Structures are given as structure tokens and as C-alpha cells.
Amino acid sequence: MDNTIWEKNLAAMDQQYPVFADMLRKKQYSEDDVEVQVEQSMDGEIIFRVKKQEQLLYLGAKRDAKQPVEIWEELFGEIHKYAAVFLFGVGSGAYLKAVMKNFPKEANLIVYEPSINIFLSLLKEVDLSQEIEKHPIGFIVEGLNETEFTPVMRNSLVLENFRYMKEYVHPNYKALFGEKIREYVKQLQRYMERMIVERNTWHVMSISTAHNIIGNLKYIAEGYHPQLMVNAFPHDGAAILVSAGPSLNKNIHELKRAKNKCLIVAVDTAIKPLMNAGIVPDIMTTVDALKPLGLVDVEGSEQIPLVAPPSAVTAFVEHQKGKKFFYFDGHSLPMLLYSMNHKKFSDVAIGGSVACAGFSLIYKLGFDTIILVGQDLAHTGNRAYADGTFQDIMPEEVTSHMTMVKGNYEEKVPTSEDLRIFLEWFENYIKGMKQRRNVTVYNATEGGAYIEGTEVVTLKEILDQVCQGEDIDFADRIQNLNSEFSAEESKAAKEYVEEIPGQLAEIHRYGEELRKVYIRLQKHGNSGNLNQDTVGKLLRRVKKFTNKCMEKPAYELIEDSIALADSLVRSEQFEAADTMKDEIKEIARKGIIYSDLLIECASLLEEYAKEVLLTDKE
């Protein structure tokens, strides 16, 4: 045993979870009957061979230990930044090290190890200090802290990140610790199922994106995207991004003189305070799929041109009577309207918040002088937003649990986890911008967090510099822009949009067929006589109807909405793996849940699509 490795690993744990490291030092665990033999593979890797009662099994390959892990790593694929990843079994740490290589810092990694002896051997033999220091790993070890599995699982997995969940059972762990692994995988799957069947939440959260895209399609078909504005104004001036951070209260009055001197882009939350201060921004941006319309419910705001992704709240889009510019946000159905006309659908980096999108928009419009206002990225004065946004006077909040970061004017300011992520996004984006162009970003937020790469100035100072020269009527120039589409192209796009309800109806019909096949499969699984040919035939029909659904472009809308069900069906077929018959029954059971949701979702979206896309026609 190498004490150095043990100490290094524990020292790394001290930084992330000292209580856990202490429990290991004080031996607050009960050892099990597993014996671990440490060997070296022919390609130089440390591998474990484990003896448990009569079983003696390798946890890593003797000849080529690296190759299976490399293949697995490639197939495991990219991990979403908000993902929860569950590894069942840690072995000699090869899979853990592989998954940690490009692990996003916002994602959660939970490692369940059913044997304390394997875990102790790992910490003694394999240096994991870099991985542990890089990212907190949720180690759950039987005999040490197994009771934490449920709370950790519930904290890591929420409705919004279910679709990004990934799980993996380490090779040979099913053979060695089948019962224990099954117990935890089953708990995870049951938790997912419960979330899926809690329809109310599902309806509210998951279907909103699809609803918005359907509702916005007819506007997207008009052919306006942000790139059209690039040549509409000179770029030697400045553009101002107005966000709704609490510091906006301090200098909002200054913005009046920026009108027609600088392009003023405002995030949706800043519209009310701006309009109430007599400032009409040139562009409004919004991104969220769920946001109250009350934020922009102020007289005159409806004339402000809107820049949004296709998934933005349709009520917002409809509220705006000026030009509506949409950009590519990863959904291929809206992009199809452009590609069918051989046109490019321009994009904007969303970055997780409306302010990130607004900032990227200004950069992409070609401005090299960007001024940030109300971009606190912190709870300045213990407030989340400027007054006049969600409430006339925003209340003070408790910020004692928040992270403290360097401030623009104060030494440290409190910031929440999501704002800290956006802060990092701004810093990285600015770094990238500066590598490509000579861009200067002035942070005229008179409070809040310091953003690396910006120059901190007062709004008065910077407006004195940039508000020179002739007036430019930005609003008028935007209003006079022509569409990317000719009249014929726009007509073709609109005709395609009218096909969407029909596509959803077909998916609905295939969903019904799919359900019938799963029911037949279930009946066959329940019968005493399992026939492989019948099973093969039924599974081929499942594939046929699934493919028929998936080849319709409108399936993307459903896929978004039933991502939870989809991930459940694709998750490890584990708990019923004892016999072929049980496995078939489990496939059928999950398939029925999936097809029920598919049918329900297709039906709801079909009705909605008919209502919003065909009403004018009827």
C-alpha cells in the first residue's frame, strides 16, 4: 500500500467534503468480506481482481485495460452541463477518470460503490486527487454513507435535467453485487417514473417549449433573423445592453441621452423600468419558455422590435407588434423553414440567460463598443432585480448562503449559483470576442460583480464619450428592413407550417399502433410459451412505428416534451434481467408508458397546432 496516494486523495477530499474524509480517517465504516487483489495490466494500468465468497472476478482487463474504457468513453458521449451522471461501481477508477476528463463543472457526478473494501483499495492504490479537486464527486459507499443515496439522488435529479441523466454499471458489478446494484438502480428508475407520471408538472414544464415553437412558427416564416440588422446601422458607435440587475436603479435616468446615439438593447425584465423612466429601447430580447407577460405590460412597449429564439413565450411574441426577429436555438423544425428556401438561419449564443443572449446579439450585430448597464450578476444590496421589474420595490433577500465574488465597487458581493455561472459565461465570451475582434466592453453597472475583461466606468463618463455625432434613428431603420424571404419563399414556408398539424396527427396514429404492439408484447410475455420469432417480429414492428414517428420533422416537438419517458425507455433494462420473459415484460411495460405519453402529447400538440396554425385558413 502506498500511504502517499491515500493521503493525497484524502487531502483532496478535505477541500471538497471534509466530513467524508474524516469518516475515512477515523475508520467510521464496517468492512465487508470482499478481498481485493491489485495487479498491473499488460498495458501498465492498475487493475483489481476481487474475491467475494466463491467468486473471483476481474474489474479491469489484464491485457488491454485501456481499450474498453476508451470505447465506453466515446459511446458515453458528451455530458450536458446540467446532467446528473450515476456510476454504479468504481472498480480501480478507470471509468471514473474517463468520465471526469471533460466533465462540466455544473453537472453532478454520483458514484455508488457497494463494497467499502474496494473503495478503500481504490483510495490507497489510485491517485484520484486531481479528479476530486477538480469537481466534487458524490461518493456513496456501502458501509460508510449509503443512507445518503436517496437525498443525493433527489438533489441531483430534477424535472429540468432528467433528460440529461446518464447511468452506467461497472463491468462485472452485476455479477458480484447484483442485489445491491439492482436495489439502487431500481430506486433511480422508480424515482424517474414517478416524475413522469406526475402529469401536472410534466404538462407545465415540458410541453411549454413545444407550444411556444408551434405558436411562433407563423412568425418565423416571415423570414426575419438578427443577421439582417448587421448592415442597417454603422458599427463605429456603441451599443448598450440594459439588464434588470438592482444597480439599474442608480443610473437608469442617464440612459435618456443615449437614445438615438447608441443602439439600446434591453432584456425583457428591464422593459418596465425603462419605459417608466421614459426610455424606449430599440430592441427587446427574451429567451425563456416560461415568463410572465406582466413584465412587458406597459404602454408603448408593444412597438419595440423583438429578438427571440423560436422557443420564446408566444404570448410575448404576440404582444410585440413591431418586427420579430428569430434566431436558431438548436431546434431543427424552425430551421427547416430557412433551409427549404436555401437560406441561412442566423444564431445567437443563448448562454443560459436573456442577458447572455442580448450580449451575444450585440456582438454579432458588429458593435465593437459595448456598454453594460444593470448587469449586476450579483445580489447588490441583497436584492435580485431592479425596482419596478417584478415588484415596484424589490424586497431584500437573505444572501448569507451565497458565494462572495469580487465586486465592481465593493470588495465582495453575494451571488447565487446561477448568476455565478452566467458571470463565467460573460468572462469566457468576452475572452473569445477579443480574440476575434478589437472589442471593448465597458461595465457601467454601478454595483454588482466584476466581470473579467470589462472596463468599469460610470454610465455618465462613458456616455459623455460615446454620445457624440449625428442622431441615428435605430428604431426606424429596423422597422424598414426587408425579410430574408421573397414573397414566394415566405409563402412556401407558411404552407409548410400548415402541414405541421397533419404531421402530428400521423405521429398520433403511429403512437396508437405502437401501443398496440407493446400490449401484444406484454401479453406474449405473460403467456407461458415465449416464442423468439414472435418476440423478434413484435420488436421489429416497434422499430417500424418508432421510425415512422421519428422521421416526421414535427416529432422534434414531441421529443422535447416526452424526453423523460424517452430516457426511461432507454435506461438500463436492469431490474428484470433475470429471465428473457421478465425482460420482455419490462420492455413492454416501459413501452406502454412511452406510447401513452407519445399519444397524449401528439394529441395535445395536434389540437393546439390546428388552433394556432389553421384557424386563419378555416
Partner 1 sequence: MEEKAIGLFNKLQETCVKYHYGKIDTVLKDAQGMSGEIQDFCSAFLQGNIFGMAEDDYQLLQTYTLKVLEDYIGALKHQDTVWMLDTLDAGLRELLLLFMDEKDMGEHTNG
Q: Site residues (CB under 8 A) for partner 1?
A: 55-65, 67-68, 71-72, 75, 171-172, 175, 572
Indicate the residue among 57 and 563 with the shorter CB distance to partner 1.
57
d(C-alpha 336, C-alpha 343), whole Å: 10
Nearer to partner 1, 39 or 397 (CB): 39
The residue (of 47 and 267) whose beta carbon lies closer to partner 1 is 47
Contact 246, 207 (CB under 8 A): no
Indicate the residue among 172 and 286 with the shorter CB distance to partner 1: 172
In the complex with partner 1, the residue whose CB is nearer, 394 or 535, is: 535
What is the closest distance, in whole angstroms, from the C-beta atom of residue 37 to partner 1 in the complex?
13
3-state secondary structure of 387: coil
* Nearest CB to partner 1, comparing residues 57 and 456: 57
CA angle 91, 94, 99 (to 5 degrees): 115
What HEC string does 131-177 produce? HHHHCCEEEEECCCCHHHHHHHHHHHCCHHHHHHCEEEECCCHHHHH
Radius of gyration of the chain from Cα atoms?
Answer: 28
Supply the minimum distance, in Å, between the C-beta of residue 425 and partner 1.
35
- Least distance in angstroms from the C-beta of 58 to partner 1: 4
State in angstroms the smallest separation of the CB of 42 from partner 1.
8
Nearest distance from residue 414's CB to partner 1, in Å?
45
Cα–Cα distances (Å) from 119 to 85, 94, 529, in that order, read 19, 13, 44
Q: Under DSSP, is residue 574 helix (H, G, I), strand (E, B) or coil?
A: coil
Q: Which residues contact 181 (CB under 8 A, 6 or more apart)?
A: 88, 89, 112, 114, 169, 173, 174, 574
* C-beta of 253 vs 543, nearer to partner 1: 543
Whole-number Å distance between alpha carbons of 318 and 337: 20
DSSP 8-state code for residue 321: -
Smallest gap from Cβ 517 to partner 1, in A, equals 21
Where do we find the cell 440587475? 245
Using CB atoms within 10 Å of the CB of residue 232, give its burial: 0 to 12 exposed, 13 to 18 middle, 19+ buried: middle
Q: Where are the beta strands (DSSP E) in 434-509?
A: 440-443, 454-456
Q: Please give the DSSP secondary-structure letter assigned to residue 572.
A: -
Smallest distance from partner 1 to CB 121, Å: 16
Comparison of 54 and 470: residue with beta carbon closer to partner 1: 54
Q: Please give the backbone phi and psi of residue 118, each rounded to the nearest 5 degrees, phi first.
A: -65, -40
CA pair distance 450, 373, nearest whole angstrom? 13
Residue 565: which of 282, 198, 73, 91 has the closest Cα?
A: 198
Toward partner 1, which CB reaches closer, 500 or 538? 538
With beta carbons less than 8 A apart as the criterion, state whether 468 and 460 touch: no
We find the least distance from the C-beta atom of residue 52 to partner 1, in angstroms, to be 12
| Of residues 295, 298, 294, the one with CA closest to residue 280 | 298
Angle in degrees, CA 319, 321, 323, rounded to 5: 120
Residue carrying the nine cell digits 458581493: 413
Distance CA 406, CA 103 (A): 26
Distances (CA, A) of 617 to 158, 527, 607, 611: 41, 51, 15, 10
- Shorter beta-carbon distance to partner 1: residue 16 or 571: 571
What's the Cα-to-Cα distance from 328 to each of 25, 104, 224, 335, 359, rounded to whole Å?
53, 23, 11, 7, 16
For partner 1, give the closer residue by CB, 64 or 418. Answer: 64
Cβ nearer to partner 1, comparing 74 with 471: 74
Question: Tell me, what DSSP letter sits at residue 262?
Answer: B
